[in-house]
Structure 1
């Protein structure tokens, strides 16, 4: 029916050169994005090893914290999935002002939303901790995590919103650069230094500082791209 009545399916003989050309265009964006995703668990392994120096209870608390982080960022992660199609569509239509409005609007929403999440986690940290454990040795680092780390979730949301926007603007290497800078310039070095010098709580504070620094870089890169009117894409 789709083919005969509505002509929504076009059956043509595959053109190898055209297929390779299309694959190349997809991989130009997809490969850096895939590498960026690979970097996150690698960095997570380093961070877990640092936390492990404080004992299995700290690792357990850190693991719970990571799960809470995923849930806390769920709305903004969904936004980062819906933003690129909107950006790409308006980029193709030459509606650059819409791209700017969408990106800046998404960033403002993310910061306000994640601040609200932080307040809710902070006010309810006692109940949240009791849900996951009844062991004091786990409660202390988990409560510490809830008091500090979620403060940086807004900045973390800015980072992946910026990366997804750059991918949609056909700037995958800049998006990859954001991930590399966040993880290997700010996150791991700051966390390692804070952990070595001042301990676990300082390490959690370093997470917030690292996200803030990386978000500043990410926002700057996207803003510069938008200020140029996206001339380099044409």
Structure 2
């Protein structure tokens, strides 16, 4: 495994497909550890024999996804800035950026947690939760949400590790947390008898484990963080903001789209919502490699961009798309073969089973288009065009979701909602392909400053970049 300890950039040489494959697989293994525990959570909760519990987890997961999107956006800023500075040979500035993003993540995590907790019933009601399901979802969220600041530091630490090319330790951190969660789940849910509360408490303890496992090597092995300084954080706000705000907005769009879908599905009953909750846990386990692409491709693009190796930047995007196509086809075939055992595992019947079968069939192939969007967003964020990611994601999860989901619901019920959502993804994947091709074709000189510093944003988008 390629690793670094002194600020060396490892992605400037070597086979790009090998880099993409290694980073994607190692990053995805870590993600899969977390997603697999969520999957096991849902299996255990289904064993309790109450569809309201599964539906509650579905609503809670959508809201927690929304809050965690802020952390994802900040980690994207950390990864992009650190990788770019390492590629340019500015290791001290890379440390400062990592530290500043971590501090800002703590502040945002604490602030957002307080705001959401005081308006918890309101937010869950907007998603369509009612009665007992609303009460259960609110209790679940209230246990996990106060650790949002923990996840902010966790995700920044893992982004820093990946920026240094150390995907192995980033992966290990999430595996440790996943193991802790998997061990605690049956103990707290069944042995102690805490039920849904037990699943939430296990998740909190797992987050703390990941925090220790991610930050420790980032500091000890790579010296990836500096001593926090208020003055340095304030001075770094501008370059961090240039990437973080569009990245946060980009990632917030995803739970907005999910909220639209789950609200449309909710009109078809608790069984349909339970089916969505199962799919929501199954999808990231099956396609963790696709979900990992943004974090995996970003450091490769960022280091080569910082070093001015633009031909490798272009080839990295194409390698990411080819890798996505191969993996999605392989996993879609696997899901199709295993669709009946998967449905049986959740004791799924009726509408719940129909939705699981749909996902394990044609919808699985649609994950290729999600992968193209992920690779494109990573390219935009690391090439000084994070606002493109924002436009694409919001378009995909609003105009590319709501009208298609509504039409699908009218034509084919709950399955039509998912099919409509998938169709919107196809359209916006095509748009991403077009935009990335244009962006990389205009790269002619290294970028050594914040793309938005001292410039009008419209000049950046349409003037200075040759558009």
Question: What is the TM-score when the length of structure 2 is the normalising length?
Answer: 0.45
- CA apart distance, 1:85: 1.3
Aligned to 1:29: 243
Q: C-alpha distance in 2, partners of 1:26/1:226?
A: 22
- CA apart distance, 1:125: 0.5
Aligned to 2:427: 213
1:192 and 2:406 correspond: yes
Q: Deviations over 1:175-215 (max 9, x none)?
A: 11110111111122211112123322332222221111111
1:94 and 2:94 correspond: no
Aligned to 1:5: none
**1:96-135 correspondence to structure 2 within 5 Å:** 96-135=310-349
- CA apart distance, 1:233: 6.0
Q: 1:65 and 1:230, CA in 2 relative to 1: closer, same or farther beyond 3 A?
A: farther
Aligned to 1:169: 383
**Which secondary structure state, in structure 2, belongs to the residue aligned with residue 162 of structure 1?**
helix
Q: What are the ranges of 5 or more consecutive residues in structure 1 without an aligned counterpart?
A: 3-7
Q: What are the ranges of 5 or more consecutive residues in structure 2 without an aligned counterpart?
A: 1-5, 7-222, 446-463
Q: C-alpha distance in 2, partners of 1:65/1:148?
A: 14
Q: C-alpha distance in 1, partners of 2:307/2:366?
A: 35
Q: Deviations over 1:213-233 (max 9, x none)?
A: 111111111111011125656
Q: C-alpha distance in 1, partners of 2:423/2:351?
A: 26
Q: C-alpha distance in 1, partners of 2:273/2:444?
A: 45
- CA apart distance, 1:53: 1.2
Q: C-alpha distance in 2, partners of 1:69/1:141?
A: 12
Deviation larger for 162-171 or 193-202 = 193-202
- CA apart distance, 1:110: 0.6
**Which secondary structure state, in structure 2, belongs to the residue aligned with residue 185 of structure 1?**
coil
> Does structure 2 retain, via aligned residues, the 8 Å contact 1:170–1:233?
no
Deviation larger for 42-51 or 74-83 = 74-83
Aligned to 1:49: 263
Moved over 6 A (4+): none
The alignment covers a number of residue pairs equal to: 225
**Which secondary structure state, in structure 2, belongs to the residue aligned with residue 186 of structure 1?**
coil
1:38 and 2:38 correspond: no
Equivalent position to 1:74, from 265, 283, 288: 288
Q: C-alpha distance in 2, partners of 1:72/1:54?
A: 26
Aligned to 1:64: 278
- CA apart distance, 1:42: 2.1
> Does structure 2 retain, via aligned residues, the 8 Å contact 1:121–1:146?
yes
